[in-house]
């Protein structure tokens, strides 16, 4: 499976969010790499748990920004985060209980979700902030 590669297409232009997205790319790539190289359950479990925690704190960062800026798409965006949080917690639970292995399918799902969410949902918020912070736009009402 190809690694996630950052490009400007993913830039929300919100510094803190872009830094966190780059970190998420790295973490998903590390997990994928470890899985493909047959690393042990404990090692994979640690990477997976780090990814779950980082994802949660990333979602919290975005949601805080959205609230602070009165973003009208907040509920819809947060619902997507909540759904994904439930999904990754499920994956983690299944993995920890030994019912399921990390598979290529799970990794593809994580990659696709992350890239699609950034491109379709996070960028929309970035554009909203960009417009909001532009003095010219504000002056034009
Ligand atoms: Fe995000
Ligand atoms: Fe998001």
State the pLDDT at residue 139.
Answer: 45
State the pLDDT at residue 140.
Answer: 44
Residue ranges of the domains in the chain? 16-129
Q: What is the pTM of this model?
A: 0.91
| Ligand 1 ion: Cβ-proximal residues, 5 Å cutoff | 122
Question: DSSP string spanning 98-141?
Answer: TS----HHHHHHHHHHHHHHIIIIIHHHHHHHHHHH-HHHHHH-
Could you give the CA distance from residue 120 to residue 9 in angstroms, rounded to a whole number? 11
Ligand 2 centroid, distance to 38 Cα (angstroms): 31
Between CA 65 and CA 18, with CA 73 as vertex, the angle to 5 degrees is 40
Residue-by-residue pLDDT tens, the chain, 141 positions: 789 999 999 999 999 999 999 999 999 999 999 999 999 999 999 999 999 999 999 999 999 999 999 999 999 999 999 999 999 999 999 999 988 888 889 999 999 999 999 999 999 999 999 887 765 544 444
Could you give the CA distance from residue 64 to residue 129 in angstroms, rounded to a whole number? 13
Q: Which listed ligand is nearest to 115 at the C-alpha?
A: 1
Q: Which fold has domain 16-129?
A: 1.20.120
């Amino acid at each position: 499976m190809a690694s996630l590669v950052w490009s400007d297409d993913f830039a929300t232009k919100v510094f803190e969010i872009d830094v966190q997205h780059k970190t998420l790319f790295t973490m998903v790539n590390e997990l994928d790499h470890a899985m493909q190289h047959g690393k042990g359950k404990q090692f994979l479990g640690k990477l997976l748990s780090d990814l779950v925690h980082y994802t949660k704190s990333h979602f919290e960062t975005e949601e805080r920004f959205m609230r602070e800026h009165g973003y009208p798409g907040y509920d819809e965006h947060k619902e997507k985060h909540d759904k994904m949080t439930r999904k990754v917690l499920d994956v983690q639970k299944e993995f920890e209980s030994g019912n399921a292995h990390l598979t290529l399918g799970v990794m593809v799902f994580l990659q696709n979700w992350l890239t699609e969410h950034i491109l379709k949902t996070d960028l929309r918020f970035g554009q909203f902030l960009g417009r909001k912070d532009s003095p010219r736009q504000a002056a034009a009402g």
